[in-house]
Structure 1
Amino acid sequence: MTRKPAFDGNHLDALLSYGSFDTLSAGGGVNYQLSDTLALRADASYLHSDSLYDVDNNETRSSGLTASLLFQPTADLSVLLAVDHYSDLSDSAYQGAVLIPLAFARDPARAVSTANGMVIDKVTRRRNYTPHGGYSGADDTTLRSRIDLKLGAGWSLGTDLLWYTADRAFVNNGTRTFIAPSLGFPNGSIQRVLTRFYHDHAFWNVRMALANEGRIAGLRNRFTIGAEYNHTDLSSLRETSTGTLVPQVDPFDPAVGTFPMDGTQYRASNVNFDSRLRTASIFGENALNLTGKLLLVGGIRYDHMDLDRASTDYLITPNPVTRANPRYDPISWRVGSSYAVMPGLTLYGQYTTAVSPVSSILLMPLANTRFKLTKGFSYEAGFKLLAFDKRLTATGAAYRIVQDDIITRDPNDPTLTVQGGRQSSQGVELSLDAAISDTLSLGGSVSYADARYDELIEAGGIDRSGNRPVNVPSTTAAANVAYTLPGVPVTLSGFVRHVSGFYTDTANTILVKGRTTFDAAVSWKIDDQVILALRGRNLTDAFYGEYSGYGSNDIYVGAPRSVEVSLATHF
């Protein structure tokens, strides 16, 4: 997001870094105060890397340019205008390592446990099976404005305007499957399905909110009422090849070939989805101080959602167009409270309801438009503690989230897809930061989540109830320490992070095991304006899976050990 201009004079920030995998990044920003009422902020960023994952044929680059202008002629009026533009491009986009049978692996890793003996082979760690010419990238631009006007007597009006456009392309592998050794492939082979997905996306939004701060029966009260309207257009061409038309490759020494541009290659599916979504909303929020320590908050929102979906099939002549026009009118609300037990210690609790479509609303299969929105609720309770002259900060929370009416199969007829499934998650989170002294600081966090499908039946009548959702670990933990050497402007930092295992399939037969990684840094404050730093990541060179990709057999392997040197300045 664009950084907001400030009326604190002119200053310049810059960052330059270089590290492993020939990764260069640079960024800079300037705040320029044109007058007492007008300020400008502009930032630029650039990144180039042979591969952020250290993968073959995976050159990555990105750039960004943001600017904003703040006009504040009086204490009652503020006008912000901003523009953001970002671009990114990755050649032969990495789709993860492919699981292969243990019997054919040369150097099997212990990062995955499967019910059928499939493993990640370390020899394929850097292999990329996407043909040359494949890529993924995006160009997006956002224009926005924010107008804040104080009307007097505690009243204020806020207006947000936004326009967004994006072009995205995903020209890469879809699914990859290991095929047992054959006459032409004595090491086995990887069968590839190629995809070409394109997005032409436009979105605009207007939001107005009227707020008041005053008193009700002598009690401090703040409330907001508002309305919002947005309009989205998305055209998405989605082409998929058949595996038989794409040459298989050796898993250890792949001759990946060139990405086919001929449209006749994409015969498994070739469909264009056009989506137009119009949403009109009204909302209200209120916060009432019942006492000096007890705060009650609440909010409600109504949305009218009008979706037009059209699907054009280019595999059939003449090209048939299928349409759907579902409409939704959900109401969601929340209520909560906080209580200041003593100075520095606050307890809070809240209950929230929400709705969402059964899948991404703009890319929803036409068959799914007949379903109603899924409903959910969550409740949470926690605390925040500031102690020892704010040198100790601790936060904690316990929560439960439930989503009803997810897609499942009819228990009486598994050939029918229906709503009625349920998934839930409950857990706890705790974080702690402590400034032990002026030179030593410690921090840490831990979270546990018990996520599961409470009710889910899949094709064939297979019951997945009780299983954990895909890519959801149960436990994460992190700790950090920073120590500044006495009398020397040098700070030593260390970081450790643990993530427990997760499954890549709803059957919970493929487990990506947990990992623990260690990072460290040394920073030298040359003066008040310049800091030089050296960072090392994954110092033990742990081999681990981060998450699964297109299919359950595709595992994104985390980046190996890397180093980076950076120079940060502020003038």
Structure 2
Amino acid sequence: MPILKPIALAVLALSSTQFWARDAHAQSSAPEAQLLGRVNVSGAAASPALEGPSGSSSRLALSLKETPASVTVIDREAIEMRGASNTQEILKSVPGVVFADPPGSAGSVFYRGFGSGSLAQLYNGISVQYDAIAARPVDSWIVERVEAIGGPSSFLNGSGAVGGTLNVITKTADRSGDISRLYLAQGDRAQAAASLQRDLKALGAEGQVLRVELNRSEGALWTQGRDRSAWQAAASWLAPLGANITHTLALERQHEKVLQPYWGTPMLRAADGTVSGAFRLDPGTFGINYNVVDGRYEQDVSWARSMLDWRPSEQTALRHTFYHYDALRDYDNVEVYKFVQNNSQVERSSALLQRHDQQVWGSRMELSHRSQIAGHRSHFAAGWDWSYNRQTRFPLSVNGPFDVTSPYTPRDSYFLQTPGVSRVYTPGATNLLHTVAAFAENRTELGEGWALVSALRLDRISLDVRNHRTVTATNPALFQARFKPVTGRLGLVKDLSKDWQVYAQASTAADPPSGVLATAGFNALRDFELTRGRQFELGSKLSFDQGRGWATLAVYDITRKNLSITDPNDRTKVIPVGAQSSQGLELNMCWRASSAWTLAGQASYTRARFDRFVETVGMTPTSRAGNRPANVPDVILGLSADWRANAALTLSADWRYVGKRYANTANTIWDEAYSLLGLGAQLHLTPQLTARLRVDNVTDRRYVASLSSDLPFLGAPRSLSAALDWRF
């Protein structure tokens, strides 16, 4: 399916709108709203969904229809209706996104043809610059909503985000009223959670609100021996400090521990020991875990945010956020398994003890002001962004192999009994990442339904990598790199009517040539600048059926240049001349067809390719130009239906299709398309008490969640959960 250049389509569509809608209603400015304010964009919303704020896709408090970009907002109601248990499962409602949580890269997400190294996965608008690892799925209880922005968006939050931005917004104290809620669930995992919010006026604290969120989940997951326990605790305090000044203090603590993590299931091999073609798995190995019995993944995360909001006038608003992130992650595992001896035995290798000690401090100031330019309404936003990111890694790696064992009843083995392994944490390297940035945004109404939206960000990034081990020519005692990326967006929106808009935009991004800055070192960055990404996008947004339905359509073209590739003339070196591109189409829609039925659907087509890419195969540099990046499907489809049978009972169903994906850059190993069906029911036993039932993967489909050339990470089989939700 060829994709026309969106910039050409933009010129055609926007120039013809004068003929289609010369008398179109002039676009009005959206009411002022606090940044990251509460969003209600579900299929059951009483008001047109596209009128809602676009959240973190802009600092101008734009509505979704005013934003010249593809933005998806999944609110709390939609999260609960789909039964999403964690932050990754919420992404099912975002067109074109696939995801998985293998232990070594639990933030494995692909969007518009790009992987987690080229995506920004934010937490309350904050990046810790380690998204593929740090963006582990978090239990969804503490999540208020998730916002997704398609395409380059470094102009919002800094380096990264060539493929898009995913932002998880957690619950904090607000003025929506008192909340008392208890949630108990049982099934493949057990969960107990509670929400409590109180206005403190009765205690003499006029205008102050306190909120507490607690969540605990645990249980054996589907693979042999893979037990998981997790808890989250969050507290926030909203208090007025004076006229039009409020302060919110938000604290959060997360803990997760997985015993004997599942790293994947080995593929069957040909007689010569190679793997090629479609995945072939031995059905008898499904659910078998070959990791050491005492294998471990454990994480402790703390967040602290201080948010000050001041509105000196109706036209002006100021927000300052100071934040601190502290994370400690530990791994003790044997991570690689493959079939040997004509697929009769499994060989285990690659023991890794690893610790990540990471802390991030940051300060962000945002000032917005509404005014006029030559009689045209204009809204400005500007500010600064400062952060200091420090991470030390403590790796101990032993290659092995260590033993061979039965594929069906693997012999118990233990991490500390593995030859060469000990639990001694010796620092390897520390990355010190300083970022200072200035940014500005503007939206100006041009008349006759036209509006121009622009954004610009200037970053100054300083990276110091300190080697704590033996100094070599390729691992110096100190490596320093300095980057000065300039990124931005320019968009044009046209109202064809009050319910129908079209837009065109160009945006840019910058990210490392490989890896992430929080862990990148000498080999990845010497003689390199950040890679450059740019996107042209054309889209349309439509509300219909008197606001009971909405639809968005986007066509895009993204190019990322300066990827690190093997030098064809010297395979021991890498050079910054690689390129990758992606063209695609995304459709998202929701329709409240009647008081009983709500229907929704998403569809995406992605043509992702390496334009220039060379990797070493054996001793030979080999071109992969024209091949598709690993784990990127061409087609993703999703459908959902909610039926309110009566005042007490609501039934729901959702279906998701993921197209064929390749496991390697050579495109010689692949997994065929798969589809998953989910069913749910909600029964209001009383006005305060609701019973919920959810079945995922109803057909018990065997599928691969994350592909690799040797060890695919399989998705979960059928699962069932039942819960009681009490609001009192």
| 1:141 aligned onto 2:302 | yes
Aligned pairs (5 A) from 1:69-468: 69-73=237-241, 76-101=244-269, 115=276, 119-152=280-313, 154-180=315-341, 187-244=344-401, 246-260=402-416, 264-265=420-421, 272-291=428-447, 293-313=449-469, 322-358=477-513, 359-370=515-526, 371-459=528-616, 460-468=620-628
Q: Contact (CA 8 Å) 1:101, 1:118: kept in 2 or not? A: no
Q: Which has the higher strand share?
A: 1
Asked if 1 retains the 8 angstrom alpha-carbon contact of 2:508 and 2:533, the reply is yes
Which residue is 1:480 aligned to?
640
CA distance in 2, matches of 1:84, 1:501: 39
3-state SS of the aligned residue for 1:243? coil
**Pairwise CA distance, 1:114:** 5.7
Quote the Cα distance in structure 2 between the aligned partners of 1:55 and 1:104. 30
Matched, 1:29 2:185: no
- 1:338 is paired with a residue whose SS is strand
Task: Report how far residue 91 of structure 1 moved.
Answer: 0.6
What's the offset of the Cα at 1:416? 2.8
Tell me the SS of whatever aligns to 2:594: coil
Hey, what does 2:117 align to over in structure 1?
none
Distance 2:180 2:597 in 1: 29
Q: Secondary structure of 1:325's partner?
A: strand
For residue 524 of structure 2, give the secondary structure of its aligned residue in structure 1.
Answer: helix
1:541 to partner: Cα distance: 0.8
Deviates more, 1:495-504 or 1:413-422: 413-422
1:45 to 192, 215, 229: 215
Contact 2:389/2:434 (8 A) holds in 1: yes
How many residue pairs get aligned? The number is 548
Separation of aligned partners in 2, 1:330 and 1:472: 27
The 1:554–1:379 alpha-carbon spacing in structure 2 relative to 1, beyond 3 Å, is: same
Report the CA distance shift for 1:282/1:254 in structure 2 as closer, same or farther (over 3 A).
same
Q: Which runs of 5+ in 1 are unaligned?
A: 106-112
| Distance 1:321-1:114 versus aligned 2 partners, 3 A rule | closer
Identity across aligned pairs (percent)? Answer: 26
Q: Measure the CA separation in 1 of the matches of 2:670 and 2:235.
A: 45
RMSD: 2.4
Change (3 A) 1:8 1:266: closer
Shift of 1:263: 8.6
Question: Matched residue of 2:477: which SS?
Answer: strand
Q: Which amino acid aligns with 2:247?
A: V
Q: Structure 1: how far apart are the matches of 2:658 and 2:314?
A: 52
Quote the residue 2:94 is aligned against: none
Could you say what secondary structure the match of 1:567 adopts?
Answer: strand
Larger Cα Rg: Structure 1 or Structure 2?
A: 1
**Inter-partner Cα distance in structure 2 for 1:262 and 1:554:** 21
Deviations 1:133-156 (A, max 9, x none): 211121010100111112337333
Q: Please give the alpha-carbon distance, in whole angstroms, between the structure 2 residues aligned to 1:191 and 1:117.
A: 23
Is 1:324–1:369's contact at 8 Å kept on the other side of the alignment?
A: no
Deviation per CA, 1:153-202, whole angstroms, max 9, x where unpaired?
73332111001100001222333232225xxxx92222321111110001
Distance, in Å, in 1 between the alignment partners of 2:265 and 2:363 is 44
Q: TM-score, normalization: structure 1?
A: 0.91
- Asked if the contact 2:429/2:469 (under 8 Å) is kept, the reply is no
Partner of 1:108: none
TM superposition shift of 1:129: 1.1
Give yes or no for contact 2:479–2:521 (8 Å, CA) kept in 1.
no
Residue 421 of structure 1: how far off its partner (Å): 0.5
Give the equivalent residue in structure 2 for 1:18.
186
For residues 509 and 270 of structure 1, the distance between their equivalents in structure 2, rounded to whole angstroms, comes to 39
Using structure 2 for the length normalisation, give the TM-score: 0.72
Moved more, 139-148 or 287-296: 287-296
Higher mean displacement: 423-432 or 292-301: 292-301
Uncovered stretches (5+) of structure 2, i.e. residues with no partner: 1-168
Q: Secondary structure at the match of 1:123?
A: helix
Distance in 1 of aligned mates of 2:368 and 2:417: 55
Give the deviation of 1:526 after TM superposition.
1.7
User: For residue 55 of structure 1, what is the amino acid of its counterpart?
Assistant: T
Give the match's secondary structure for 1:248. strand
Which range is displaced more, 364-373 or 170-179? Answer: 170-179
Q: For the Cα contact (< 8 Å) 1:520–1:535, is it kept in 2?
A: yes
Q: For residue 494 of structure 1, report the CA deviation from its aligned partner.
A: 1.3
Q: Does 1:506 align with 2:662?
A: no
